Structure 1
Amino acid sequence: MPEKEKLRIDKYLWAIRQFKTRTLASDACRAGRVKLNGNNIKPSHEVKVDEVYQVSKGPERKVVKVTGLLENRVDAKTAVLYYEDITPVEQTSAFQSMFHAPVLKRDRGTGRPTKRDRREIDDLLDGDKPSVAEEEE
C-alpha cells in the first residue's frame, strides 16, 4: 500500500476501519469524540506516526496509536498493521459486560420520571460510590 506523508485524521480513521464511512469519522471529529492529548481535533488534522488518539463511538472508547499511514481503506487484517490498540483493559467492551452496569427500564406510557424517581435512579447509578456520611467516617 502506498503511504503518504500528509493524511487527514478522518481519512485515516476510515482507512483503519474505526468508522464505516469517512463522513462518520468527520462528524465524530467535529463532535469532539476524537481527541489528541485530551484536546478535540478537526477532521483536517494531519496524522503523524506515533501519535495517540482517543476515539469514542457510543459507549465504546478506544485509544489508538498510529504505527503507519494508510490512505485507502483495506481489509481488517491489513488495517491492524497500521495502528496499535492501547486501550486499557478496564475500558474495553469485553470487560464492561451487561453484569457490571445496571439496566434501567421504564414501563411504556408511565411518563417522565418524577423528582423522587430521578433521585432513586441516581442512587442506583451511583450505588458503587460511597456517600458523604461514609466518606467522613
Structure 2
Amino acid sequence: MRIDKYLWCVRYYKTRSIATQAIQKGHVTVNGQQAKASRDVFPGDKVTVRRDQINYILQVLDIPANRVGPKLVDIYRKDETPAEAFEHLELLKLSKAHYRATGTGRPTKKDRRDLDEYGMDFNDDEFDNE
C-alpha cells in the first residue's frame, strides 16, 4: 500500500491530499529514508511522521484494506513515540500562554505603552560604567 494511503487509512491525516503534501514537504520518512507519496509500506516498516511539532514513530503491523475506525487503528500500527515528545509539546503550549492569553487579540495602545514604560525602567548609565 502507498504510504500516503496508509497514513490516511490509520487516521494520521484527514485526507490523502493532505498526507501527500506532508510527504512532499519531507515530514515523513520510512525506515530512516525520505519517502515519496508512491512509496509502498510493508509490515515491519518504521514510519516517522512529523506533525504538530512531534515526531511520531510508528511500526507498521498490518496493511488495512480501507480506512479504519479510530478504535481499530491499533491493529494496523504500533505507536513507539516517546513520552518526552508529548511533554515537550505541553511545555510549548504553556510557554505560549505565559506571554499572552489565547483569544485576547492584538495588543492595544495601552499594552504597547505599558511595554514601552517597562523598557524605560533600565538606565543606560548602568551599562556605560562597564
TM over 0.5: yes
What is the RMSD computed on CA atoms of the aligned residues?
2.3
Q: 1:28 matched to which residue of 2?
A: 22
8 Å contact kept, 1:50–1:66: yes
**What is the distance in 1 between the residues matched to 2:48 and 2:108?**
36
Whichever of the two has the greater Rg, that structure is 2
What percent identity do the matched residue pairs reach?
Answer: 31
8 Å contact kept, 1:12–1:71: no
Q: 1:39 matched to which residue of 2?
A: 33
**What is the distance in 2 between the residues matched to 1:18 and 1:62?**
10
Q: TM-score, normalised by structure 2?
A: 0.69
Matched positions, count? 102
Which residue identity lines up with residue 76 of structure 1 in the other structure? P
**What is the distance in 2 between the residues matched to 1:36 and 1:81?**
19
Q: Secondary structure at the match of 1:81?
A: helix
**What is the distance in 2 between the residues matched to 1:50 and 1:41?**
16
Q: 1:130 matched to which residue of 2?
A: none
**What is the distance in 1 between the residues matched to 2:7 and 2:59?**
11
User: Which has a greater percent of helix?
Assistant: 2
Gaps spanning 5+ residues in structure 1: where? 1-6, 111-137
Q: 2:8 matched to which residue of 1?
A: 14
Cα offsets for 1:8-38 (capped at 9, x unmatched): 0000000000111011111111110001233
Q: TM-score, normalised by structure 1?
A: 0.65
